[in-house]
């Protein structure tokens, strides 16, 4: 298991452009999240989302290390061969 696999399943947020009213576009690479926010709210959301992403990746890596078969069953939906 690699951290990038968590990022693929739940992409990180990023800033993408700005609107004429001063709002910033915030989105994921797969567009599951796509919002316009004030610069302050965009900064807060991106920081918290990515902090949560770091914690999720750390949990997944620890789960995989502690119990590889159980992790594979959970992550991939079946027990690894």
Convert the pLDDT of each residue in 10-37 to its tens digit.
Answer: 888 989 888 889 999 999 988 888 899 9
When divided into structural domains, the chain yields a total of: 1
Q: By the 8 A CB rule, do 25 and 15 touch?
A: yes
In a domain, 13, yes or no: yes
In a domain, 81, yes or no: no
Walk across the sheet containing 34-37 and list its strands.
Answer: 14-18, 24-27, 34-37
- Asked whether 1 and 71 are in contact (CB, 8 A), the reply is yes
Residue 70 lies in a domain: yes
For residue 36, the enclosing domain spans: 3-76
Q: Tokens 């994921």 correspond to what residue?
A: 28
Provide φ and ψ at 6, rounded to 5°.
-65, -45
Query: Over the stretch 36-57, which tens digit does the pLDDT of each residue have?
Result: 999 999 999 999 999 999 999 9
């Amino acid at each position: 298991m690699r951290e990038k696999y968590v990022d693929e399943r739940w992409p990180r947020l990023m800033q993408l452009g700005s609107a004429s009213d001063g709002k910033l576009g915030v989105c994921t690479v797969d567009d599951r999240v796509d919002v316009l926010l004030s610069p302050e709210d965009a900064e807060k959301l991106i920081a918290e989302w990515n902090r949560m992403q770091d914690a999720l990746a750390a949990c997944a890596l620890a789960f995989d290390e502690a119990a590889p078969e159980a992790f594979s069953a959970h992550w991939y939906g079946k027990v690894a061969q």
